[in-house]
Chain A
Amino acid sequence: MAAVQTRDDKVREDEVDKRLVAAYARGNSHALSELYRRHSRRVESVARHVVGPSDEVEDIVQDVFIELQRALHKFRGESRFTTWLHRVTVNVSLQHLRKKKRKGWSRWIGLDQIVGRHQPRSRNLERQTEARETLRAIYEVLDTLTEKKRLVFTLYEMEGLSLEEISHVSGTSVNTVKSRLFHARREVFGEVKRRGLLPTHTLQVIK
């Protein structure tokens, strides 16, 4: 995990990003490569939490950078580059979902992979099946949220974006984001509890 960035770090990083964008505009194709190197993980992470557990994430990340190549000249530098990039990522991801008409996380069939990666050492077939069913149930619960609420909930709770970043990404105010987050939390928690999905113990480290 990268060290927590201070505000100054972020400003510095943003300056570098903007210089890279300017270099790309001047015709230096390596700048795009460098932007990819710096931000691919971030893009992948956001895309993954917008579209859910899907094997389309890889294509989405690629599409984001294709979009970036095409639209980088439109970036005016008024906001932070990462904010702009998040927004592009979310837009491309949502576009992808709509194009595929795939609305739910739970409809993805590759849950075994997630279970396998969360519990790599578990060879107990019964436990794996149970874990897969739990996961499917959680995603079903997330599917009950509206798209807007799910976006806020997953980006905040699972991806760790700040409220301000989510407000930029979703094009809404921070207060709206807060409101959606609160309601999403209440709905998800209530449903999880109702379905008896709560684990019997907590992890030592929550985040």
Chain B
Amino acid sequence: MSEIESGCVDDFVLHAWADDNDETMNDERRSEVGDHVATCDTCSQQVEELRRFRTLLLRARVPTLQDDQWRMLDTRIEMMAGEPPPRGGQTAGRIYWGIAIAAAVSIFAVGGWQLLQGRGAGPTTTLSEAGQARVAGAFTTVPVAVAEGSLEIAGADGLFRALRVDDKLARGAQVRSSAGGRLVVADNFELRIAAGTALSVLAGNEREVFLRLRHGAVACRVNKRRPGQRFGILAGRFRTSVVGTEFTVRHDQEGRVAVAVTEGAVRVDEADDPWRKVSETTSVVRAGNRWRFTGGRMDLGPIVQEPEPGQAERRAPHGDENGARPVVAGAPAKPQSEETPPSATALSDSAPSRPALDAGRDGAALEPAAARRVRRPRAGSPTDATHVDTALRGTTSPTDRVAPRAAASVAVPSAVLSLPPPLPAQPSPPAPLDRGPTRPTAGAVTAARTAPRGAKPAAGKSAGSAEATDPSIEHRILINVPPQAMTPEEIRRAKAAERRRGGHGRALHHDVSP
């Protein structure tokens, strides 16, 4: 080239030549410049300097995150990924993560400011009265009053350690149990957590405790809910709020949700945020009824009790078709012991039901992010076919996370759950659990608008048959509180919310008290 022939090459060219991987220079040109550099002292000297310069750049590279930072990040993202995908570009997750970050690094002011700014409040997310209360209370934590059994908690650092009595549950914390345990938070919210259960804390303060049941089973009891206290469980895309009742919620990894009410009433609506306004799909399910979401359809109807041989006399209320009573082919029904409180007995299904939960104990679903990190290839490395295949399925199946559990679920198609052993500490079993299996049903179910996003109620479907086709029952919650109707204030707020949306405030008008 002329520039080379006429003398030294431009430093642009030498820069490119000194970098072996530079893509601005083709091979022919590289060869030409190389020939020149070999014979030119000036250029040769400059190339030497450029190589030292590149060494300097190499030393100045910003190092990657450290392992503990990656662990923290993995945990956060894992939690976020467990949330249902937002629809319509809503940004509820931003609020959620704003809080998670703040909780993690204890920067109250920054997170609070973001919330006060309403940052991330999407079109369908509005800070209601409860939301405003959240601003005041979201960054507090709820103390753990009792922690028994094999309970572990992962904080913002992503590491799991044993949960202790003095611990505080902050939003974002993850709780898991490998072999079952009992937990009491906020003094009056008792959770008995089954083996192989994973929960995350969506809200944790004295006023409200909302948990996301990621998988597993939790028996909950609220003792004397104080005015203004809110408790609830989010399972899948549905929120079940304690209105004052005893009920069972189940949720499997295919998104099916079932709620059976045995006392009082619950409010079920479609919400992936504890503070979302009461949605248009609110259903108020009264005692003796059940609500289901299967196959994209909502279904309301009475609880149908199908007595099992040898069990009809003593079966607990949640031993109904929604109640996850284990039925194992060929396994005789095990009578409950006299000393065991009915609620505990029903929830702590013994031997025949163990396998399903045991299958879930393989740890895969609860696998800490730190363990997975080891397997994670660098970006751009060949795909882990198993992971991808799992994630690519249109809907999550039980086999997505824990194949052994799915296999067990298929083998034991009924609701098979085993919760921790009955706890002797329970002073007295809640009265509603001692009731007979059947409750009045007619007219006891009210759905304000029961069709979410194209869903159609499937009336007349046999609850029992639906249960039989339910291959995996992985989530069950029993919330047991003293019978209590919705407070006037709750009803007023719900109606006001309905009217603000342009509705007629009928959501709660049509309730038929049990």
Please give the distance in Å from B467's CB to the nearest CB on chain A: 24
In the complex, the answer to whether B73 meets A62 with C-beta atoms within 8 Å is yes
Does A125 have its Cβ within 8 Å of any Cβ on chain B?
A: no
State in angstroms the CA–CA spacing of A163 and B20 once bound together: 15
A-B contacts, 14 of them at CB < 8 A, read A30-B401, A32-B81, A33-B77, A38-B379, A40-B379, A41-B379, A58-B65, A58-B72, A61-B65, A74-B89, A118-B63, A199-B55, A206-B54, A207-B20
B-side interface size class: 35 or more
A27 touches B84 (CB 8 A): yes
A70 to B51, Cβ gap below 8 A?
A: no
Q: Are A13 and B73 in contact (CB under 8 A)?
A: no
The interface residues of chain A lying within 8 Å CB-to-CB of B351 are none
Which residues of the partner chain B approach A19 to less than 8 Å between Cβ atoms? 388, 392
- Which residues of chain A in 14-73 are interfacial with respect to chain B, using CB atoms and an 8 Å cutoff? 16, 19-20, 23-34, 36-45, 48-49, 52-53, 57-59, 61-62, 65-66, 69-73
Asked whether any CB of chain A lies closer than 8 Å to the CB of B23, the reply is: yes
- Segment touching B, from A90-98, A143-151, A189-197: A189-197
Decide yes or no whether A202 CB sits under 8 A from chain B. yes
B51–A29 CB distance below 8 A = no
Determine whether the beta carbon of B391 is less than 8 Å from that of A206. Answer: no
Find A1's partner among B11, B21, B378 (CB 8 Å cutoff).
B378
Check B19–A197 contact: CB distance below 8 A: no
Q: Is the CB of A206 within 8 A of B51?
A: yes
With both chains docked as a complex, state the minimum distance between the C-beta of A64 and any C-beta of chain B, in angstroms.
Answer: 10
* Contact assessment for B394 and A23 in the assembled complex, using a CB-CB cutoff below 8 Å: yes
Q: Tell me if B82 and A163 are in contact (CB < 8 A).
A: no
Give chain B interface residues in 372-426, CB to chain A under 8 Å: 372, 376-384, 387-388, 390-396, 400-401
Interface-facing stretch out of B93-101, B261-269, B475-483: B93-101
With A62-B101, A192-B56 as known contacts, state yes or no: A29 contacts B84, CB within 8 Å. Answer: yes
**Which residues of A come within 8 Å of B, CB atoms?**
1-3, 5, 9, 13, 16, 19-20, 23-34, 36-45, 48-49, 52-53, 57-59, 61-62, 65-66, 69-74, 113-114, 117-118, 134-135, 138-139, 142, 157-158, 160, 162-163, 178, 181-182, 185-186, 189, 192-193, 197-203, 206-207
Which B residues are closer than 8 A to A by beta carbons?
A: 11-12, 15, 19-21, 23-24, 48-65, 69, 72-74, 76-78, 80-86, 89-91, 93-94, 97, 101, 255, 372, 376-384, 387-388, 390-396, 400-401
B93 touches A69 (CB 8 A): yes
- State whether A202 touches B379 (Cβ < 8 A): no
Q: Point out the residue from B57, B60, B86, B378 that lies within 8 Å of A69, measured CB to CB.
A: B86
**Residues on the A chain within 8 Å of B76, using CB:** 62
Minimum CB–CB distance for B419 against chain A, Å: 26
Do most interface residues of chain A lie in helix, strand or loop, or is the interface mixed?
Answer: helix
Closest to A48 in B: B62
Chain A hits for B400, CB < 8 A: 30
CA distance in complex: A59, B107 (Å):
13
> Within 8 Å CB of B69, what residues of A?
58
In the complex, the answer to whether A26 meets B12 with C-beta atoms within 8 Å is no
B158 to chain A minimum Cβ distance, whole angstroms, is 11
Residue among B12, B81, B255, B381 making CB contact with A33, cutoff 8 Å: B81
> Are A42 and B83 also in contact (CB < 8 A) when A29-B396, A200-B52 are?
no
Contact of B392 among A5, A23, A72 (CB under 8 A): A23
